[in-house]
Amino acid sequence: MPLEAPPEPAASVSPSSWLGRLRKGLSRTGQTIGGLFVGVRVDEALFEELESALIVADTGVAATSMLLDALRTRVKQDKIEDAEAVRQALVQILGDHLRVLEKPFVVGQVTPLVVMIAGVNGAGKTTSIGKLAFTLQKQGAKVLLAAGDTFRAAARQQLVEWGDRNNVTVIAQDGGDSAAVAFDAVNAGRARGMDVVMVDTAGRLPTQLHLMDELKKIRRVIAKADPQAPHEVLLVVDGNTGQNVLSQIKAFDEAIGLTGLIVTKLDGTAKGGTLAAVAAASRGVRPIPVYWIGVGEGIEDLQPFVADEFARALVAD
């Protein structure tokens, strides 16, 4: 049975506070996208400015031209003459464009839900696991963590600290094999009636083929503990990565079959357009949803991705 809906957020994590951080991050382009629409006429110059601003925000050429075409059509059809109304139309069009990436992260249909986390070095994997443990626990889920990053003792320690903060158990081995840690964790998760088992892994570049092979092995060994697992294979990407994120997604997807993304550090990036590029690249292929976005370093700084909210933040007035 699906777990109950999450409780209302506390005042300290009101949507306005994290949306504010998201907006502030996304507006670091010097000139904000929303700012383009203030006190100007609706003419070709506005569309040109908008095109550059979207490119600067790393929206990519394909998504930028899709969005601009849709906006021009809308402006013409609806005979929009007011710049603020154009901004609002863009928010709507961008929200619709991003919706392909929106999908709720469902916990409780299988137990334990085994979640494998991968990504390049420093993307925010371990931090996101810590935040996610907090979020899922708040929804009533029993969570177990696996310190699959066995390369560095400090990495293990970092996850153990997140475990302490959340009061959840962390399965770890001294210098052991990461696939073995993951295997133990899935078995322990089942034996202890856990709802979610999250497996951290060491950072790696898609070009480090032996490390990509190791990731495949971790996936295979998890399936030996539970043939249906891992149920979720998440790639954590740094929101500052820009267009390179597309090749990261492709490489990790080919290696381990991704089911979703976590996009971090959106509180400090001017590259929010990247998600529009990801959405454009998802057209006609299996989209890999963005389950969560990271908007800070704190335990509560993880939010579900909501296309309309993101569009509003990116094109804030």
Ligand X SMILES: Nc1nc2c(ncn2[C@@H]2O[C@H](COP(=O)(O)OP(=O)(O)OP(=O)(O)O)[C@@H](O)[C@H]2O)c(=O)[nH]1
Where on the chain is the footprint of ligand X (CB under 6 A)? 119, 121-127, 149, 155, 202-203, 236, 264-265, 267-268, 294-297, 301
Shortest Cβ 106–ligand X spacing (Å): 22
Which of ligand X, Mg ion, none binds 257 (CB below 5-8 Å, type-dependent)? none
Q: Which residue number has the CB closest to ligand X? A: 203
Q: Is 203 annotated as a binding residue?
A: yes
CB 51 to Mg ion: min, Å: 38
Residue 169, annotated as binding a ligand = no
Query: In the sheet where 196-200 sits, what is the strand order?
Result: 170-171, 143-147, 196-200, 113-118, 232-238, 260-264, 290-294, 302-304
Least CB distance from residue 24 to ligand X, whole Å? Answer: 11
State in angstroms the smallest separation of the CB of 204 from ligand X: 8
Crossing angle of helices 274-282 and 83-98, in 10° steps, is 50
Contact of residue 289 among ligand X, Mg ion, none (CB under 5-8 Å per partner type): none
Residue 126 near Mg ion by CB under 5 A:
yes
CA distance 83 to 35: 11
Please check if 150 is assigned to a binding site.
Answer: no
CA-nearest of 263, 122, 266, 147 to 204 is 122
Helix (H, G, I), strand (E, B) or coil at 224: helix
Q: Which is nearer to Mg ion, 178 or 274 (CB)?
A: 178
244 belongs to an annotated ligand binding site: no
The rounded distance, in Å, linking the Cα atoms of 118 and 128 is: 11
Angle between helices 307-314 and 15-26 (to 10 degrees): 50
Before 2, cis peptide (omega within 30)?
A: no
Check whether 39 is labelled as a binding-site residue: no
Q: Quote the least distance from Cβ 174 to Mg ion, whole Å.
A: 17
Nearer to Mg ion, 94 or 146 (CB): 146
Q: With CB under 5 A as the contact rule, which of the stretches 75-83, 119-127, 213-221, 291-299 interacts with Mg ion?
A: 119-127
Q: Where are the alpha helices (DSSP H) in 58-208?
A: 61-77, 83-98, 125-138, 153-166, 178-191
* Residues in the annotated binding site for GTP: 119-126, 200-204, 264-267
**Which residues here bind Mg ion, judged by CB under 5 A?**
125-126
